[in-house]
Structure 1
Amino acid sequence: MPESKDVEVSTRGRIGILTINRPSVRNNLGGDVVRGIYEALDAWRDDDAVGAVVLTGAGDKAFAAGADIGELQRRVPTDALVGRISGLLRTLEEYEKPTIAAVNGYALGGGCEVAMACDIRVAARNARFGQPEVNLGIIAGAGGTQRLARLVGKGRALDMLLTGRLVSAEEAERYGLATYVVDEGAALECAVEVAEGLLGKGPLALRLTKLAVHAGTDVDMDTGLLVERLAQAVAFASADKLEGTKAFLEKREASFTGR
């Protein structure tokens, strides 16, 4: 697998682990980080040996502290229109396999946006979430204004986005921004444990569930329910449905194939 020097790629069983490895700059998203994440996700997409993906940051100070400010200063309007990081996060959000962020320390700006693009967010108690872009005279432009409002509600999102204030792990959990809060230093292990639990589920069912949620959240209820029924129809036609129901009736573990 091609590997960026700024992203460490490893596996633990059937779990792929991506570690942003720039601790000297609080794991910001400069350098080769975006390319490294893209390459790993592409390599794992059709690899049955990897069933779930965990993203984290090296060290205990930061998950990812946003953009490289020096690089940011040189950006021009067309860079925003290209949306390199925004495109990566859309790929991450729509990824066929479950994704879990293990947030240790600061998740700021683009780092918070990376975490929000994951399906599940495990936060250590020292985690701090924030979108402080207004302090630099810009806005949260990699999905921050959209995903944050959908996760925590418009009022809380506006508070965070307009003030640029940071919220603790506990506050993030109350808001719905953090899924789980664990002891400092335990975020990665908890994320791996959650991922291992997902590996026992039907992979096609997981993929269809993600599709139904993302496609249905921002449309009217009737359209969302139609998306859900169509996704269920696909599941009903699958070998996984037959195996899952048969295994339940036979009181054994299911052996899913994702088909």
Structure 2
Amino acid sequence: MSITLSIHDGVALVTLNRPDAMNSIDPESNEKLLEAWDEVSRNEAIRVLVVTGAGDRSFCTGADLKKTMPPAESAASLLYGGGTRGLNFGSLQTQKPVIAAVNGYALGGGLELALVADIRICSDNAQFGLPEVRVGSIPGAGGTQRLVRAVGQSDAMWMLLTGERIDAAEALRIGLVSKVVPLAALRDTALALAGNMAANAPLAMTAVKGLAMSGRELSLAAGLELERQAFGLLRDTEDRLEGRRAFAEKRAPVFRGR
């Protein structure tokens, strides 16, 4: 399978499984990746998603140019006519927390896929880059929008306008990743983090993610008002009452998403 999905204790692990092709995305794996994302979004048993690549060389190097031909449809029909789902990681959306475990190269669309995640950790051999300007193109799957939000304007523009790669240490310095670990420890580190998060109240995590993402586009006053409304909605949920009972009884809470 070009994309694998496994679920354990509330954590979904999606693996790009084309190591011989540097985990690049061909039309088949693109469709499977979109299907896996849809499954994560609708499956109530899944609380956190981890996405990574197979092997020890590459997380993802973007589209497989050998197998990805230009679409037959016009740009207008794809944009306005609802054509086939293309290689566009900008369409990957879920309310649930997403962790990218970047093992090796994350280039072009691979970095754009990592930018979809809420948290990124990487192996010490990781490299990141958006080389599209060097071949007369642009990062068209969210790169021009998400990178500047993730690391700030100056560092983002450096990467976008030069097409140069950065290593794991530089990615950590500019805030592109939260943590750098040895390659052998990467998957276990990501899954442990996801497991800790999956034990949290799912409605609260969904609310926190939504508020944080929406707040970037709002004034502080509007964001605070949205937060106030969300707090009120969550106040009387079963999970919030369970959290308080568990604290009083000195035990681990059992959240049910209600």
The one-letter code of the counterpart of 2:123 is A
The one-letter code of the counterpart of 2:20 is S
Partner residue in 2 for 1:257 = 256
Partner residue in 1 for 2:48 = 52
**Residue pair 2:27, 2:68 contacting (<8 A) in 1 also:** no
Map 1:28-47 onto structure 2 (within 5 A). Answer: 28-47=24-43
Q: Equivalents in 2 of 1:119, 1:202: separation in Å?
A: 17
Q: Equivalents in 2 of 1:131, 1:78: separation in Å?
A: 25
Distance 1:185 1:193, change over 3 A: same
**Residue pair 1:90, 1:117 contacting (<8 A) in 2 also:** no
Q: Equivalents in 1 of 2:178, 2:90: separation in Å?
A: 19
Which of residues 3, 6, 29 is equivalent to 1:7?
A: 3
Q: Equivalents in 2 of 1:248, 1:148: separation in Å?
A: 39
Map 1:206-225 onto structure 2 (within 5 A). Answer: 206-225=205-224
* Number of positions where the alignment pairs a residue of Structure 1 with one of Structure 2: 252
Partner residue in 1 for 2:60 = 64
Poorly superposed stretches of 4+, deviation over 6 Å: none
Bigger drift between 17-26 and 68-77 goes to 68-77
The one-letter code of the counterpart of 2:6 is S
Partner residue in 1 for 2:182 = 183
SS in 2 for 1:32: helix
Q: Equivalents in 1 of 2:103, 2:68: separation in Å?
A: 24
Instruction: Give the Å deviation of 1:190.
Output: 0.8
Q: String of CA shifts for 1:101-140, please: whole Å, max 9, x gaps.
A: 1100000111101111111111000011111111121001
Residue 91, structure 1, aligned to residue 87, structure 2: no
Instruction: Give the Å deviation of 1:6.
Output: 1.3
SS in 2 for 1:84: coil
**Residue pair 2:56, 2:103 contacting (<8 A) in 1 also:** yes
Partner residue in 1 for 2:125 = 126
Distance 1:79 1:139, change over 3 A: farther
Per the normalisation by structure 2, the TM-score is 0.91
Q: Equivalents in 2 of 1:133, 1:33: separation in Å?
A: 21
Distance 1:236 1:227, change over 3 A: same
Q: Equivalents in 2 of 1:192, 1:207: separation in Å?
A: 19
Partner residue in 1 for 2:236 = 237
Distance 1:79 1:13, change over 3 A: farther
Q: Equivalents in 2 of 1:222, 1:138: separation in Å?
A: 39
Q: Equivalents in 1 of 2:109, 2:231: separation in Å?
A: 34
Q: Equivalents in 2 of 1:250, 1:134: separation in Å?
A: 58
Instruction: Give the Å deviation of 1:42.
Output: 2.2
The one-letter code of the counterpart of 1:128 is Q
Per the normalisation by structure 1, the TM-score is 0.91
Instruction: Give the Å deviation of 1:24.
Output: 1.7
Q: Equivalents in 1 of 2:134, 2:188: separation in Å?
A: 34
The one-letter code of the counterpart of 2:41 is R
Partner residue in 2 for 1:136 = 135
Q: Equivalents in 1 of 2:236, 2:126: separation in Å?
A: 43
Instruction: Give the Å deviation of 1:8.
Output: 1.5
SS in 1 for 2:99: strand
Which runs of no fewer than 5 residues in structure 2 stay unpaired? none
The one-letter code of the counterpart of 1:21 is N
Q: Equivalents in 2 of 1:218, 1:190: separation in Å?
A: 32
Partner residue in 1 for 2:75 = 77
**Residue pair 1:130, 1:165 contacting (<8 A) in 2 also:** yes
Instruction: Give the Å deviation of 1:219.
Output: 1.7
Residue 18, structure 1, aligned to residue 51, structure 2: no
Residue 202, structure 1, aligned to residue 204, structure 2: no
Q: Equivalents in 2 of 1:33, 1:90: separation in Å?
A: 15
Q: String of CA shifts for 1:156-211, please: whole Å, max 9, x gaps.
A: 11100010011111111111111111012221111101001101111111000000
Bigger drift between 198-207 and 234-243 goes to 234-243
Bigger drift between 206-215 and 61-70 goes to 61-70
The one-letter code of the counterpart of 2:195 is E
RMSD: 1.9
Bigger drift between 246-255 and 135-144 goes to 246-255
